[in-house]
Amino acid sequence: MRRKNYLVCLIVATALSLLSPLAKSATADRDWDWDSRYSVKEEQTVRNTFPLTGSGKKSLEVDNIFGSIEVVGTSGDQVQMVVTETFHAESKDRLERAKKEVSLDVTNENNVLRLYVNGPFRCQCNNNGWGEREHPGYMVKMDFKLEVPINMDVTLSTVNDGNVKVSNVAGDYRVRNVNGSIDITDAAGSGAVKTINGHVHVSFRQNPKENSEFSSLNGDVVLNFAQNLSADFRFKNMNGGVYTDYELTALPQRQTEGERKEGRFVYRSDRFTGGRVGAGGPEIRVENLNGAIRILQRHV
């Protein structure tokens, strides 16, 4: 049986600052039952292929609001996209209005493919995201499935009614969700993975070579690292433990940061704890509020 070290971190500090107004409002509405809210429903599938010409690093950006994102790395040199668009509306008139007001904006320039779901909900005028206008009487959900070159960098985000899944992508990553989980398998790059209501599960084919961060507000964070890990871990957790397969040694003492403010020195305390694995290396920061943090060794 593998021996595990158990690090229980109960840090009563600035973790509550993670509870932004977005997090509070999202928690209340995280279960979406559009069929009961709207009587009219229509679904269509959009398919497209995007060539990526030229040399150099390639990147994909998907900015979604309602719906899931699934990305799979392949040996090809182009992006294959399938989007399932589901329209929910209170009437046929509102359905037609949804088709006019909500769009998938695409730009493909300089090896950067951007997929941006646009609509009235992008307004930040007040908390409900619709501005001063009335509620439109419809909702449009877009579920993305994409096949991309394996070494592509990915920047992915969604907010409601969908999870994010990435597999076999060796590029760097920035992945965000609000009401849903994030699962990444066979990662080989570095980056940031953050969600609010859902788990974060990442397995590495190659360990990060640059500083990386992983966090959830309500859900476990589980990281499965490849063999021969060397890294410096920084943990912050409030309502949960930190569990690891690895022997940790103490990190070198950090110099206290201070600044002069109104004639006085103000010092910032470091509210993270952690340890070094192996000879040390990139900093891997892991945060959670309600849930466990698990740092595991991958055996497959």
List the structure tokens of 119. 């609509």
> What pLDDT shows up at residue 271?
67
pTM, full prediction: 0.83
Do 150 and 168 form a contact (C-beta atoms < 8 A)? yes
State pLDDT tens for residues 110-146. Answer: 899 999 999 998 875 544 444 445 578 999 999 999 9
Do 241 and 6 form a contact (C-beta atoms < 8 A)? yes
Name the domain count of the chain. 1
Q: What is the mean pLDDT of residues 252-261?
A: 65
Tell how far CA 175 is from the center of its chain. Answer: 3
Do 226 and 206 form a contact (C-beta atoms < 8 A)? yes
Mean confidence (pLDDT) of the chain: 84
Identify each DSSP E strand in 119-207 by its residue range. Answer: 138-149, 153-157, 164-167, 173-176, 182-187, 191-194, 200-204
What is the residue range of 201's domain?
Answer: 5-297
User: Cα dihedral angle (113, 155, 77, 117), rounded to 10 degrees?
Assistant: -40
Q: In what order do the strands lie in the sheet with 191-194?
A: 103-109, 112-118, 59-63, 153-157, 173-176, 191-194, 212-218, 283-290, 231-236, 273-277
State pLDDT tens for residues 183-217. Answer: 999 999 999 999 999 999 999 999 999 999 999 99
Q: Tell whether the model's pLDDT for residue 5 goes beyond 90.
A: no
Burial of 129 (0-12, 13-18, 19+ CB in 10 A): middle
